[in-house]
Amino acid sequence: MVKDDRIQLLLVRVTLPVTVFVVGLILVILGGEVVQGAGIFLIGSAVLGALANAYMRLGLQSNADREREEARRQFLEEHGRWPRRDEI
């Protein structure tokens, strides 16, 4: 089950934006004026999707950092010293 979730996340996070970007690039190179405009739109959409994914991942990582810091502060209150790396 976990492996299936990772594959799905990989498809959404990496494969989808890369595929849309490549299709947009092909349209820009091979198409006429209207098709080139559509290609530019697709490239922009791919970049926007990749940036949104990166910001979401950074936000989730930041929350985990805050939770670890809070656990360390709780340890300090209980034991009177800052925890070593292997204690939390």
State residue 1's pLDDT score.
58
Residue 27 structure tokens: 């349209």
State residue 40's pLDDT score.
97
Name the 3-class secondary structure at 46. Answer: helix
| DSSP label at residue 87 | G
pLDDT band (50, 70, 90) for residue 2: low
- Is the pLDDT at 87 greater than 90? The verdict is no
Please, are residues 42 and 21 in contact by the beta-carbon 8 Å criterion?
yes
> How many domains is the chain built from?
1
CA distance 61 to 22: 29
Residues spanned by the domain of 19: 2-87
pLDDT in tens, 15-25: 999 999 999 99
The pTM score is 0.67
State residue 52's pLDDT score.
92
pLDDT in tens, 46-84: 999 999 998 988 888 888 788 889 999 999 999 999 888
